[in-house]
């Protein structure tokens, strides 16, 4: 799928350092650690096969995710920072705030969480969903799971991965 970097001109971040540390991966993309102006960030990079071999469905979803996140600002939705381009690539890496863990990993590590934390996480996710559903047009996540709920160091929950979201 041909992508024109100029379509992302307003979102391009310069001087991004890609650390090569993998933070996670899914069916369509890998999430890796980035550094931008001394700030640790996360970068979602679509697997090369999806945009080099003409498998446009995943690439189209990825580009839609970039645009959806760029229009969404809420404390319980992962913050979109911009995009960057790896040297030699014409396809953007989505740059987002870094959060240290997701709800799945937290539950696997600690087991049952105290009620206060459970209620706080549910409240945060609810607020994020209210924000998405309050957009015009409405954004429906369609893939909300413990894997897509990221947690900050103080256990603030943020919705991530709008890759299959629809307006």
Give CA–CA dist 110/119, Å, rounded: 16
List pLDDT tens digits, range 10-49.
788 989 999 989 998 887 789 999 999 999 999 988 887 7
143 classed as catalytic: yes
Distance separating alpha carbons of residues 148 and 78, to the nearest angstrom:
10
Q: For the whole prediction, is pTM greater than 0.75?
A: yes
Of residues 120, 112, 109, the one with CA closest to residue 154: 120
* Active-site entry in 7, 115, 143, 161: 143
Q: Give the model confidence (pLDDT) of 95-114 as tens digits.
A: 999 999 999 999 999 999 99
Do 132 and 73 touch, CB atoms closer than 8 A? Answer: no
Report d(CA 47, CA 62) in Å as an integer.
10
């Amino acid at each position: 799928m041909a992508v024109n970097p100029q379509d992302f001109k307003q979102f391009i971040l310069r001087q991004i350092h890609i650390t090569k540390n993998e933070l996670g991966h899914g069916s369509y993309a890998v999430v890796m650690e980035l550094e931008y102006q001394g700030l640790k960030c996360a970068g979602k990079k679509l697997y090369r096969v999806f945009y080099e071999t003409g498998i446009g469905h995943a690439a189209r979803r990825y580009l839609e995710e970039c645009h959806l996140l760029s229009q969404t600002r809420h404390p319980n939705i992962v913050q979109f920072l911009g995009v960057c381009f790896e040297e030699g690539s014409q396809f953007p890496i989505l740059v987002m705030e870094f959060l240290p863990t997701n709800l799945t990993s937290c539950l696997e590590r600690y087991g049952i969480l105290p009620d206060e934390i459970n209620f706080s996480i549910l409240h945060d996710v609810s607020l994020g969903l209210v924000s998405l559903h309050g957009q015009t047009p409405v954004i429906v996540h369609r893939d909300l799971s413990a894997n897509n709920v990221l947690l900050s160091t103080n256990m603030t929950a943020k919705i991530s991965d709008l890759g299959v979201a629809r307006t």
